Structure 1
Amino acid sequence: MFVTSKFGKVNGELAKKLFEARSVTLLSKKQFSQKDVNVDQFFKFYNESGKCEDRYKPLKDRDYDRFLSTRASRREPSLTRQMTSLAYKVGKDMISLAEGMPNEQVFPYKRLALDTRFSSLVLEGKELAAALQYLPSQGLPALLSELRKFQSEAHRPPELPRDILVTNGSQHGIYQCVELLLEPGDPVLTSEFAYTGFHGALRPYQPEILGIPEDKDGMLPETLDSVLADRLRRGLKMPKMLYITPTGSNPTGTVLPEDRRRRIYELACKYDFLIVEDDPYIFLNYSDHNVPSFLSMDTCGRVLRLDSVSKVVSAGLRGAWITAPKPLLERLELHSQVELLHSCTLSQAILLELVKNRKSFASHLTFARDFYKQRRDALHSALNPLQRLAPFEYPTAGLYFWLRVNGVDDVYNMVFHTAFERGLMLVPGQAFLYDTSAPCPYLRLTFSKIRLEDMDAAVSTLADVIRYEQQRAEQKQKRVATEG
């Protein structure tokens, strides 16, 4: 949750009581059964008849040099990490005195069993030993092979040299992309309100944020074009990177339509920037239509795609991966070598079993989508009477409602005092601005964990809180007018 030093004013005992409140169950009273899913259609994020941008030439290996940060360009391969990669390739055909790996016989674990709704995973013997051992920095070879197939089937990206790096969650991927591409003070393109973890990764670089407004369908390509054309005309430094969450944008819940994605991709070619496509909610699209990904349109090698199963399988598993042009991916791998050696091997072994069983994977994702859709619809019904107090759009994907509170220029006091003291936790819109001290009239509401039976009470309290804050704002305006 978004908290700054202002939060210190909140009563400590009240905060303690709220945080120690009863646990919230994730189980719904409604039971979801396994569905017969058309796997090919479920994992289809491309348009077979879609027009591909062919006016621009694909980037060559040397072209990527201009996008690299000074830090990224200075990284060198680790010889010991290279030996680990070689060890996995040659297997037992060679006697080794090279790798500094522990001997698997000292591992205390003998068997790991995980039961899912649709299957069971058992790791023991050599398989378990391998799942507890060091890996090449790029990832578990079998998982990489499966993810390459998965991305090819799901997105059908144009034929270009690309590869995959397993990351420790999408936040890790975001941080790696920022470290790869940005110099201090660089301009960065993103939506006006963007995922707070992206802003957190940016702050040490003190960038110039170019926040592009959104409407109910997401980022406005016309405004993006106008901003870039103006910078070019004025001779200002041009951005190298656009960060975007095209499906279920956090916090706005929008889904960027295909025509806008194609227009934004064309602008990336025209103005020479890369697109970081962060898509953790791609499987939580509540419409009947999958939208082609930026990766599926990437004829020129300008997309770094971040995928994650945190919201739909397990947040703690940290299962995620980057798909990127090979010259950039090789640099990202060098970063991983010195940062964490590699992502958790055991998590990767679990992720492998999940992804390779497509039918079960699709069935589970359908369950997750239906589970969250039920909560979205329930919260929407509860919120409908508040439209005049705080208008909002019906979220097409993701986990959030985005409300604009009428008559209140800044919701900070509302969130951290008025609402909190009444037992209601909210997130202020400031959390999704780079400048978190700026006044903001928006609230983000999350429906993922709240119990269905608690929604009406929560919204009733929210309505009282909004009316109270609106009255305070009116009284303040009257005092200012009288004093003036």
Structure 2
Amino acid sequence: MYILKPFSFSKRFPETEVIGSAFAGNQDQVIPLSFGFPAPESLPADKMTAATEAAMLSQGRQALAYSGGTGPKHIINWIKERSRLREIEATENEIIVTSGSSQAIDLITRTLTDPGDEIWVEAPTFFGALKTFRLAETTLFSFPIDENGLRVDLVEQELNERVKNNLPLPKLMYVIPNYQNPGGVNLSVDRRKRLAELAYKYNFFIIEDDAYVELSFDETYLPAIYSFGPERVVYLSTFSKIIAPGLRLGWAIGLSAIIEKMRILKIDGLTSVYVQEVTKNLLEQMDMDEQISYLNTIYLSRKNAMVSAIKQYFGDEVSFHEPNGGFFLWLTFPPQIDTSEFLDTAMLAGVSYIAGKHFFLQNEGYNHMRLSFTFCKEDIIHEAIKRLANTYYEYVNSKQMIEEVN
């Protein structure tokens, strides 16, 4: 019999806290406002069944081989055409299909940075991206957002200071320009232009993560940052928010030299050619504009239900930017509140959320909370906000009692 000896894991793993109890344990009785999940009824199960059958009937064994059938080429062409709506012109060599946009973030990071290089991000920002950047052993620096998105003026100010003092400049700037996760804000056109200009001037690349661009409730679409700086922007998007996250299909658009290196690092080869074949068939039978309109009708109604319930049960206790698209509401509580302190109690009351601290680099955002309005129906959202408010006020009252005793 062998005695197992201690074994040390790779040192590249940072100390990363599990993101709340929102993803742990039995959640059968929990209303999930934490998940960035689409509405279950929006997932095109019937059409997917037909598309899967067609993949086998039309391509058969080719679709199951390493290089696949006609699907991958069709998907690239679809991306090229759809990207023109964002004022993006790209060739086939400038596009790579990835296993979701998260893989694209990882590939770009490993292509354009070495350990110790700086990546600048928004504050708050998507915690999945932060995890990727930390695993790549990069140095992170953040800038606040306001109702018009990233404070590009502060980015420019910092760049100027770095040059004056001969300090390192960033290699990458990570931005979510439309219905930002978690803030829900859009980057203004003027700021998009200026950020692109700064990327050229100071020689850094922008990762433009545009996962939510299609989900515009008033059908207003701004030009991509890429359109102002194609030589210094890598543009990302995904099928996850408009068809189904289970497809795990996303894409990146950038200089062919970057895309070529991303292909080298993508050791899994072509992204699931069979899934691409099925998706090709799905796109052929689906009116995408009709699908987007359907999604936005659902999500607008659910967003309005959440906003109404928050105003009813929280009143002036919280503030938030009301997004006109996307998946999320970003709540701000009084400065002394730490939303992570009543997360477990909320779970016991049957509602989950993501505490604000997870969207910042360090020791920030404790009085914030992200809620998703897309997954649950309106009546369920109303009940969830009621439970959340009750939990919150119980927490505040207990906090006040402890302070009085002390």
How high is the TM-score relative to the length of structure 2? Answer: 0.84
Q: Which has the higher contact order (CA 8 A, sep 6+)?
A: 2
Q: Which residue of 1 aligns with 2:78?
A: 146
| CA displacement at 1:161 relative to structure 2 | 9.4
SS of aligned partner of 2:334: coil
The answer to whether the 8 Å contact 1:118/1:360 transfers is no
Aligned-pair CA distance for 1:448: 1.3
Using the TM superposition, give the Cα deviation of residue 472 of structure 1 relative to its aligned residue in structure 2, in angstroms: 3.8
Counterparts of 1:238 and 1:231, CA distance in 2 = 7
Tell me the equivalent position of 2:195: 264
CA contact (8 A) 1:115 1:121 kept: no
Say yes or no: does 1:310 pair with 2:310.
Answer: no
CA contact (8 A) 1:409 1:439 kept: no
1:393 equivalenced with 2:321 (yes/no): yes
Q: 2:336 aligns with which of 401, 408, 428?
A: 408
Deviations 1:257-282 (A, max 9, x none): 21211111111112211111111101
Are 1:333 and 2:263 counterparts?
yes
Alpha carbons of 1:370 and 1:120: their partners in 2 closer, same or farther (altered >3 Å)? farther
- Radius of gyration: which is bigger? 1
Give 1:156 deviation, angstroms: 3.6
2:7 is aligned to: none
Q: Is the 8 A contact 1:158 1:298 kept in 2?
A: no
8 Å contact 1:355–1:361 — kept in the other structure? yes
Maintained 8 Å contact 1:216/1:393: yes
- 1:402-481 aligned at under 5 Å gives the runs 402-416=330-344, 418-435=345-362, 440-478=366-404
Distance in 2 (alpha carbons) for counterparts of 1:27 and 1:341? 31
> Which residue of the partner structure matches residue 19 of structure 1?
27
The answer to whether 1:241 aligns with 2:167 is no
Give the secondary structure class of the aligned counterpart of 1:277: strand
Secondary structure of the residue aligned to 1:316 is: helix
Instruction: Give the SS at the match of 1:292.
Output: coil
- Residues 208-357 of structure 1: matches in 2 within 5 Å? 208-299=139-230, 301-336=231-266, 339-355=267-283
SS, match of residue 199 in structure 2: helix
**1:238–1:146 CA distance, 2 compared to 1 (3 A):** same
SS at match of 1:403: strand
Give the counterpart of 2:292 among 348, 356, 365: 365
Q: CA deviation at 1:286?
A: 1.7
**2:11 equivalent in structure 1:** none
- Classify 1:124/1:23 alpha carbon distance in 2 versus 1 (closer, same or farther; 3 Å): farther
Q: Which residue of 2 aligns with 1:379?
A: 306
Query: For the structure 1 residues 123 and 5, does the alpha-carbon distance in structure 2 shift closer, same or farther, using more than 3 Å as the test?
Result: closer
**1:412 to 1:141, Cα distance in 2 relative to 1, 3 A:** same
Residues 208 and 233, structure 2, Cα contact 8 Å, conserved in 1: yes
Deviation at 1:458, TM superposition (A): 1.5
- Taking the aligned partners of 2:46 and 2:117, their CA distance within structure 1 comes to 46
| Aligned equivalent of 2:55 | 123
CA distance in 1, matches of 2:282, 2:320: 36
Residues of 1 paired with 2:226 and 2:101: CA distance? 16
- Distance in 2 (CA, whole Å) between partners of 1:440 and 1:403 is 11
Instruction: Determine if contact 1:354/1:361 at 8 Å carries over to the other structure.
Output: no
- Rounded Cα–Cα distance in structure 1 between residues aligned with 2:48 and 2:270: 26
Shift of 1:239: 0.2
Amino acid at match of 1:305: Y
1:7 positional shift? 6.3
Distance 1:208 1:21 in 2: 40
The change in CA–CA distance for 1:479 and 1:197 in structure 2 (over 3 A counts) is same
Q: Is the Cα–Cα contact under 8 Å of residues 411 and 439 in structure 1 kept in the other structure?
A: no
Please tell me whether residue 201 in structure 1 is matched to residue 132 in structure 2: yes
C-alpha distance in 1 between matches for 2:324 and 2:50: 28
Cα deviation 1:109-161 (Å, max 9, x = unaligned): xxxx962699997233451322211128xx8233323333333x323436899
Classify 1:157/1:422 alpha carbon distance in 2 versus 1 (closer, same or farther; 3 Å).
Answer: closer
Residue 375 of structure 1 contacts residue 447 of structure 1 at CA under 8 Å; is this kept in 2? yes
Please tell me whether the aligned partners of residues 306 and 373 of structure 2 are also in contact (alpha carbons under 8 angstroms).
yes
Q: Deviations over 1:418-447 (max 9, x none)?
A: 212222211101221233x65611000111
The 2-side partners of 1:451 and 1:419 are apart by 19
Alignment CA distance shift 1:231-1:471 (3 Å): farther
Contact 1:284 1:369 in 2 (8 A): yes
SS at match of 1:115: helix
| Cα gap change, 1:439 to 1:189, in 2 (>3 Å) | closer
Task: Give a deviation string over 1:12-33, Cα, whole Å, max 9, x none.
Answer: xxx75x51338999467xx9xx
Q: Is the CA contact 1:401–1:445 (under 8 Å) kept in the aligned structure 2?
A: yes
Structure 1: gaps spanning 5 or more residues? 32-112
How far apart in 2 are the matches of 1:195 and 1:230?
27
1:478 to partner: Cα distance = 4.5
Q: Structure 1 pair 348/186, CA: closer, same or farther in 2 (3 Å)? A: same
Classify 1:133/1:272 alpha carbon distance in 2 versus 1 (closer, same or farther; 3 Å): same
Q: CA deviation at 1:474?
A: 3.5
Mapped to 2, the partners of 1:5 and 1:378 lie a distance apart of: 30
Distance in 1 (alpha carbons) for counterparts of 2:157 and 2:92: 32
Q: Retained in 1: the 8 A contact 2:302–2:374?
A: yes
CA distance in 2, matches of 1:159, 1:20: 45
